[in-house]
Amino acid sequence: MSAPDALAVRVGRALLARAARLAIAESCTGGLVGARVTGVPGSSRYLLGGVVAYHNRAKVALLRVPVGMLRRHGAVSAPVAAAMARGARRIFSAEVAVGVTGIAGPGGASAGKPVGLVHIAVCGLGRTRCRSACFAGDRRRVREQAADLALNMLLNHLEEEPPAAIRGGRAPGVAARNNRGCAVIPEEHRLRPRCSPRVRTVVF
């Protein structure tokens, strides 16, 4: 039996420490981000659910991505990634959500949008942050790197928010319980992001 994904474990701890619940919206990764999160035992304490909206019709019908946005920017764009994240957050009433869209290849490239281009957005806790990256490698590697970046972005987004235990005036080492009966675990370790050097960040 393989050990749980270390990055996904840290994301889970960060969510628990902030009494935050997660929702996921994926396109090019096809559920890979969700699979890594649910690979951690006990992830039902903080993951509410996810949507794999691969076709544009699914993005519109399930996540309420505006048709005009898709026509204007294309499915692989920062605005659409942000709209996907916001849609997932709304559907599941989550505190934080992540949206992933991109071109995993080998086909699908167009002018200005090469194979490997990925847009990822994290929203919640009062802000939305988007990043774009262009990853090298085959379809499998592009999807894996996109999932890595999504989890790193989520972790960084959460770490900018003080843990619930600290906000509530408790000592960092003292455990508390939120209104769902889950343990609130203060975070002690931070993961340095392993992002592609070709990454652009936009904060809304």
How many C-beta atoms lie closer than 10 Å to residue 120's C-beta?
31
Tokens of 179: 């209104």
Q: What is the pLDDT of residue 188?
A: 37
Q: What is the pLDDT of residue 87?
A: 98
Q: What is the pLDDT of residue 111?
A: 84
Which residue is it, tokens 């993961």?
A: 191
DSSP alpha helices (H): ranges in the chain? 6-17, 32-38, 56-63, 67-73, 78-92, 139-159, 164-167
Q: What is the pLDDT of residue 4?
A: 74
Which parts of the chain sit beneath pLDDT 50?
169-199, 204
| Residues ≥6 apart with Cβ < 8 Å to 34 | 24, 26, 47, 50, 52
CATH architecture of 6-203: Alpha-Beta Complex (3.90)
CA–CA separation, 158 and 155 (whole Å): 5
Q: What is the pLDDT of residue 194?
A: 36
Provide Rg for the chain, Cα atoms: 17
Q: Nearest Cα to 146, choosing from 45, 10, 3, 32? A: 32
Q: What is the pLDDT of residue 1?
A: 57
Q: What is the pLDDT of residue 144?
A: 98
CA–CA separation, 38 and 11 (whole Å): 11
How many C-beta atoms lie closer than 10 Å to residue 136's C-beta?
11
**Rounded (5°) CA angle 29-66-114:** 40
Total-model pTM: 0.81
